[in-house]
Amino acid sequence: MLATFVGHMGRILTGIVLAAWLLLFSNPIAAQDTRWLKREIRALCAPSMAGRGYVQKGQQRAAQHIQRFFKNAGLKPILPDSGYRQAYHFPVVCFPDTVMLRIGRKELIPGVDFLVDAAADSYRGRHVKIKKLDVGALPDSAAWQRLRASLHNKIIYLIRGGDSLARLLHIPLRHLTAALPKGVFIIPVQGKMTWTVATKLDSGKTVLYVQDSVLPRHPRRANLALHSRLERSESVNVMGYVPGLSVPDSFIVFTAHYDHLGKMGWDATFPGASDNASGTACIEWLASRYAQQPQRYSMLFVAFSGEEAGLLGSSYFVKHAPIPLKQVRFLVNLDIMGDAAQGVTVVNATNHPSEFSLLKSLNQKKNYLPEIRSRGNAANSDHYPFTQAGVPAIFLYSNGGPGYYHDVFDKPETLPLLHVDGVLKLLLDFVAALQ
């Protein structure tokens, strides 16, 4: 009787284990995984991370966080003598403390009412006279050059018609500041403001972008206090891998950049939830998954720094690759994965039609995403240095969401993460099907 009972219970337990195994692999991403992604994005956007930028050790704290995760997940260091880190450095303009602008009696909110140009020089002035400079009616570029020569750098000039000036000079609006002389300039803008990172300080030139809606009709004087400095950023790429079972010398690589813009003064923080705490959390999740379930190929995971400063981390990796680049079977870069309500776009799809076709066919079978769009090569994320080096690589970004990008509103609470679980399911299937 005892033997019969034990055998019966054994069959029951075996059935339970088998059912759990089938459930795990038929539904590889459960609700708790999406909740984990949300928690991890919040952790990467915590106040202690300071926008994962270049002040208050934000980028360093983020790198340490990711390194701990890779190690605890069971990934191995790709370079045993350097742990999980690939160190390098570059210059960067920082705004570590004072950023204040008052026009008339109204003090404006940094990051919301105004942005400082990323290369702006320090400036401090009280009750400085504002001169309105309307360049929209300039007849030609020669007239601008004459006007430019007459400007005095102790007066704040309020430039209206900046878009007209850019057209007059045949330059993109984003290059307008380079055409300005030394001095202090306020450029009114309407709608979304987008910040960035500069690696050179524009000595003697201080440019601010201010929401037109908050400017007085006839601004006369301003108080401006701004402290910037050029620093050497000690940065690291964080790397870890899972050895392959049958083809260990060939790698599938997942990448994402973990850096963001950091802080503009004491008060304006750019959390970078969608860009790119979301992509970083996704490759962490994949790393943990593959550490438990090794594949035919070795799986390499790289979290890059320096992306916002010009793809610097990925460029350094390519030039100092810890593995021969010819051993990369395929690379998938994830950036801006906050909401795939309208599916994803695949950059480099036209370069790799067979892999793009595989993604499309897998999605059609499982209906993971509403749409997968094709796009050609573009230098818009960390896949690009690899593409330039001949490495087969694609870049996935999500389509949808509120559209917060390079601003103070890109916060974890604004990310719906719709269909991001579908993106991860699709990538699991893609890796399993890749020959």
pLDDT in tens, 334-355: 999 999 999 999 999 999 999 9
CB count in 10 Å sphere of residue 132? 12
**For the whole model, what pTM was predicted?**
0.91
Q: Are 345 and 399 in contact (CB under 8 A)?
A: yes
**Helix or strand or coil: residue 323?**
coil
Determine what percent of the chain falls in helix, strand and coil, rounding each to the nearest 5.
35, 30, 35
Q: What does DSSP assign to residue 157? A: E
Q: Tens digits of per-residue pLDDT, 78-110?
A: 987 778 999 999 999 999 999 999 999 999 999
At residue 413, φ and ψ (nearest 5 deg) are -70, -10
How does pLDDT run along the chain (435 residues), one tens digit per residue? 434 433 444 444 334 333 333 334 444 566 788 999 999 999 999 999 999 999 999 999 999 999 999 999 999 999 877 789 999 999 999 999 999 999 999 999 999 999 999 999 999 999 999 999 888 777 888 888 888 888 887 899 998 887 888 888 888 877 888 888 999 999 999 999 999 999 999 999 999 999 999 999 899 999 999 999 999 999 999 999 999 999 999 999 999 999 999 999 999 999 999 999 999 999 999 999 999 999 999 999 999 999 999 999 999 999 999 999 999 999 999 999 999 999 999 999 999 999 999 999 999 999 999 999 999 999 999 999 999 999 999 999 999 989 999 999 999 999 999 999 999 999 999 999 998
Fold (topology level) of 98-226: Glucose Oxidase; domain 1 (3.50.30)
Report the distance separating Cα 287 and Cα 241, nearest Å: 8
The CATH code of the domain at 28-91+231-433 is 3.40.630.10
Among 305, 326, 252, which Cα is nearest to 64's? 305
Q: What does DSSP assign to residue 108? A: P
Q: Are 99 and 110 in contact (CB under 8 A)?
A: yes
Q: What is the pLDDT of residue 145?
A: 85
Report the distance separating Cα 290 and Cα 190, nearest Å: 46
Q: What is the pLDDT of residue 22?
A: 35
At residue 375, φ and ψ (nearest 5 deg) are -145, 150
**Rg over CA atoms, the chain:** 25
Q: What is the pLDDT of residue 389?
A: 98
**Helix or strand or coil: residue 131?**
strand
- Dihedral angle over CA of 34, 35, 38, 44, nearest 10: -110
Among 114, 89, 84, which Cα is nearest to 99's? 114
Among 253, 427, 242, which Cα is nearest to 325's? 253
CATH 3.50.30 range(s) for the chain read: 98-226
Report the distance separating Cα 162 and Cα 134, nearest Å: 8
What burial class does residue 158 get, using C-beta atoms within 10 Å of its C-beta: 0-12 exposed, 13-18 middle, 19+ buried? buried
Q: Are 430 and 366 in contact (CB under 8 A)?
A: no
**Torsion over CA: 332, 62, 35, 240 (sign):** positive
Q: What is the pLDDT of residue 29?
A: 62
CATH 3.40.630.10 range(s) for the chain read: 28-91+231-433
Report the distance separating Cα 281 and Cα 206, nearest Å: 37
Q: Which residue has the tokens 């919301």?
A: 112
What length does the chain have? 435
Q: What is the pLDDT of residue 167?
A: 83
Q: What is the pLDDT of residue 408?
A: 98
Q: What is the pLDDT of residue 176?
A: 83
Reported in sequence order, the residue ranges of 156-285 that DSSP labels E, i.e. its strands, are 156-160, 183-189, 205-211, 221-226, 229-242, 247-257, 262-264, 268-270
Q: What is the pLDDT of residue 17?
A: 34
